[in-house]
Amino acid sequence: MKNTKLALGLAVIAIGFTSCKDEKAEQAEKKVDSYVMYVDSLGNVAAADAEGNWEGIEASYQLRAGEAEAAIANMKDNVDAQARLDASRAKYEALKAKVEAQQMAAQAAAVATAPNSKQQMRNALFGEGKMGEDMNFSWVNAANIHNVYQQFIHTVEDNKDVYSREDWDEIKLMYEALDSRKNTVEKEGLSAEDNRKISGLKVKFGPMYTLNRMGAKSGEMKRAKE
């Protein structure tokens, strides 16, 4: 009788142990399935959305990948599960490489289209896109030349403390080119009133240029010695 009870007890323990192992294996399978399904779902995400939310995607991926790796250790026969995991990992890495390539291309395009420092200064002095490297002032005429001088001189005045010596040299070139255009515009009917106002603005430029360029040069020499 005792032997029968012992046998029954061992059988119950064995069944419980098997049931526990089966439950762990089932949970492990679900973790692997969840990982595989997540990676597959990324294939349906629009490229722009994936790129814009990549940090969140990467964090979620790493969590699921870690859970799947740990789950495989609880599976008796994990060859198929490991193969599925490896295939999904390869799929994810391919997607990651694609997104990173898109990000690099976008960054390169942004750098290529961004105006350089000289163009940024020209935009500030004359208005967005009005003056390029060719220093073409054909757009300046008798009707707008006073406003052009006004914006130029006031912008230089507002930023005189941040210009480098090279900036001042570039400013001088643009100023002289604008003066050359003024000589042409005067022959096209520049009013006496606008001419007088422009002369007042020009009086400011000479001393401002000389003093601040000297200051910029001294500052550069001082920093070079430090």
Q: How confident is the model at residue 17 (pLDDT cuts 50, 70, 90)?
A: very low
Q: pLDDT of 92-123, one tens digit each?
A: 888 888 888 888 887 777 666 555 888 999 99
> What's the full length of the chain, in residues?
226
Q: pLDDT of 211-222, one tens digit each?
A: 999 877 665 555
Say if residues 173 and 127 touch (Cβ distance below 8 Å): no
Q: pLDDT of 71-93, one tens digit each?
A: 787 777 778 878 888 888 888 88
Q: pLDDT of 22-61, one tens digit each?
A: 677 777 788 888 888 888 888 888 777 888 888 888 888 8
**Structure confidence at residue 32 (pLDDT):** 83
Separation of first and last alpha carbons in the chain:
99
In this structure, of 6-15, 16-25, 107-116, the range with the lowest mean pLDDT score is 6-15
CA–CA separation, 16 vs 149, rounded Å? 92
Which residues, in sequence order, are CB contacts of 126 under 8 Å at separation 6+?
148, 151, 152, 174
CA–CA separation, 179 vs 199, rounded Å? 11
Which residues, in sequence order, are CB contacts of 182 under 8 Å at separation 6+?
145, 149, 190, 198
CA–CA separation, 154 vs 226, rounded Å? 33
Q: pLDDT of 180-191, one tens digit each?
A: 999 999 988 899
Q: pLDDT of 125-135, one tens digit each?
A: 999 989 888 88
Say if residues 58 and 92 touch (Cβ distance below 8 Å): no
Q: At what angle do helices 192-225 and 165-186 cross, to 10 degrees?
A: 170
**Nearest to residue 217, comparing CAs of 170, 168, 176, 173?**
168
For residue 156, the Cα-to-chain-centroid distance in whole angstroms is: 30
CA–CA separation, 70 vs 203, rounded Å? 78
pTM of structure: 0.50
The DSSP letter of residue 127 is -
Q: At what angle do helices 192-225 and 145-159 cross, to 10 degrees?
A: 20
pLDDT score of 167 more than 60: yes
For every residue of 49-81, DSSP letters joined together read HHHHTHHHHHHHHHHHHHHHHHHHTT-SS-HHH
